[in-house]
Amino acid sequence: MSTQGYQDELRSEQNYVDGLYARLDAERARVKGRYSAALRGKGVSAMERDFEVRALGKQAKRLDVADNGLCFGRLDSLSGEASYIGRIGLFDEANEFEPLLLDWRAPAARAFYVATAATPEDMRRRRQFHTRGRQVTDFTDEVLGRPDGDERGDAALLAAVNAPRGAGMRDIVATIQAEQDEIIRLDHPGVLVIEGGPGTGKTVVALHRVAYLLYTQRERMERQGVLVVGPNPAFLNHIAHVLPSLGETNVVFTTAGDLLPGLHVTAEDAPAAARLKGSLRILDVLAAAVADRQRLPVEPVPIELADVTVRIDAETAQWATEEARASGRPHNEAREVFREIVTYVLTERAIGRIGKGWLTRDDREAWEQLRTDLVAELAESEAFTAALDDLWPILTPETFLAQLYSSPERLRAAGADESLYRAEGDAWTVSDVPLLDELVDLLGRDKPVDDTAERERKAEAAYAARVLEDTMVSREDHMDDEDHLFAQDMLFGEDLAERFLERDTRELAERAAADRDWTYRHVVVDEAQELSEMDWRVLMRRCPGKSFTVVGDLAQRRSAAGATSWATVMEPYVPGRWAYRALTVNYRTPAEIMAVAAAVLAEFAPEVTPPESVRACGVQPWARRVDPADLSTAIAEFVRDEAEREGTSIVIGPPDVPGTVAASETKGLEYDAVLVVEPERILADGPRGAAELYVALTRATQRLGVLHRGELPPALRGLADAPAPVPAR
Q: Is 198 annotated as contributing to ligand binding?
A: yes
**Alpha carbons 181 and 186: distance in angstroms, whole number:** 8
- Residues 700 and 586 sit within 8 Å (Cβ to Cβ): no
β-strand partners of 194? 551, 581
Query: CA-to-CA distance for 552 and 200, rounded, in angstroms?
Result: 11
Sign of CA dihedral 418, 424, 429, 434: positive
DSSP letter at 722 equals S
Backbone angles phi, psi at 92, to 5 degrees: -90, 100
Q: Where are the alpha helices (DSSP H) in 521-646?
A: 533-542, 566-570, 591-604, 631-643
Sign of CA dihedral 715, 718, 722, 725: negative
Beta bridge partners of 395: none
The three-point CA angle 155-161-163 to 5° equals 95
Give Rg (Cα) of the chain: 33
Q: Is 372 one of the annotated binding-site residues?
A: no
Strand stretches in 364-507, DSSP E: none
Rounded-to-integer distance, Cα 721 and Cα 723, Å: 7
CA distance 210 to 223: 14
Q: How far is Cα 493 from Cα 668, in angstroms, rounded to an integer?
A: 52
Whether residue 196 is annotated as binding a ligand: the answer is yes
Q: Is 610 annotated as a binding residue?
A: no
Residues in contact with 173: Cβ distance below 8 Å, sequence separation at least 6, in sequence order: 69, 72, 87, 104, 208, 246
- Gap between the Cα atoms of 422 and 411, Å rounded: 11
Q: In this structure, are residues 276 and 533 in contact, taking their beta carbons and an 8 Å threshold?
A: no
- Dihedral of the alpha carbons of 505, 507, 511, 512, in degrees to the nearest 10: 160
The answer to whether residues 526 and 230 touch, using CB atoms and an 8 Å cutoff, is yes
* 202 is annotated as contributing to ligand binding: yes
Instruction: Indicate the SS3 state at residue 586.
Output: strand
Please report which helix (H) or strand (E) contains residue 344, including its range: helix 331-354
If we measure between CA atoms, which residue out of 200, 158, 161, 159 comes closest to residue 183? 200
User: Looking at the DSSP assignment, which residues form a beta bridge with residue 412?
Assistant: none
CA distance to 386, 586, 691, per residue, from 151 (Å)? 76, 14, 32
Any binding-site annotation on 89?
no
Helix 382-391 to helix 331-354 angle (10° resolution) is: 140
Q: How far is CA 530 from the centre of its chain?
A: 14
Binding residues: 196-203
Binding residues for ATP: 196-203
